[in-house]
């Protein structure tokens, strides 16, 4: 009986000790940067311009669904192990010919990564505005 109890204690201790060993790391930010801009263009035109901006930024598209207006891409920012992810949401406005673009940047919480993410966000909208013009 003592042997069985001892095995359970050892097994529980091993599980407790190893519980911190294998953790899934999801890119997060303490304060993700989120910005929304309005463009006086239809959804298809803005979507094509967003794809061009991603290409110019040398981003890697992770997810794209034109029907729902979602595009997620990553930027390495010089650190391939901890890329920044930009979630781009497009939706049509109630006004005809107007598209709303919302960008949410996810990155690691290091100061350099947050600065890079904010720069990526500004660069994204700067390029998009130069292609489309802001409303």
- Under 8 Å CB-to-CB from 56, ≥6 apart: which residues? 127
pLDDT the model gives residue 122: 75
| Residue 26 bridge partners (DSSP) | none
**Can you give the pLDDT at residue 25?**
43
Phi, psi (degrees; rounded to nearest 5) at 23:
-120, 140
Reading the chain (135 residues) residue by residue, the pLDDT tens digits are 566 666 665 555 555 555 554 443 444 444 455 678 889 999 999 999 999 999 988 888 999 999 999 999 888 765 666 777 888 999 998 888 899 998 888 776 555 555 565 666 677 888 888 888 755
Q: Rounded to an integer, what distance in angstroms lies between the CA atom of residue 117 and that of residue 83?
A: 9
Chain Cα centroid distance, residue 110: 16
Q: Where are the beta strands (DSSP E) in the chain?
A: 33-39, 60-65, 70-75, 84-92, 99-106
Compute the half-sphere exposure of residue 108: CA atoms within 13 Å on the CB side of its CA. Answer: 13
| Domain annotation for the chain: domains and CATH numbers | 27-132 (3.30.530.20)
- Residues whose CB falls within 8 Å of the CB of residue 44, separated by 6 or more in sequence, listed in order: none
């Amino acid at each position: 009986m003592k042997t069985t109890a001892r095995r359970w204690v050892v097994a529980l201790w091993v599980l407790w000790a190893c519980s911190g060993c294998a953790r899934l790391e999801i890119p997060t930010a303490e304060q993700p940067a989120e910005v929304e801009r309005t463009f006086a263009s239809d959804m298809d035109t803005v979507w094509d311009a967003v794809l061009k901006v991603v290409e110019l930024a040398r981003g890697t598209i992770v997810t794209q669904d034109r029907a729902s207006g979602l595009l997620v891409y990553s930027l390495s920012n010089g650190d391939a192990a901890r890329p920044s992810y930009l979630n781009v949401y497009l939706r049509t406005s109630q006004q005809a010919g107007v598209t709303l673009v919302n960008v949410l940047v996810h990155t690691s919480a290091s100061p350099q990564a947050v600065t890079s993410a904010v720069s990526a966000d500004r660069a994204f909208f700067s390029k998009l505005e130069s292609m489309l013009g802001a409303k």
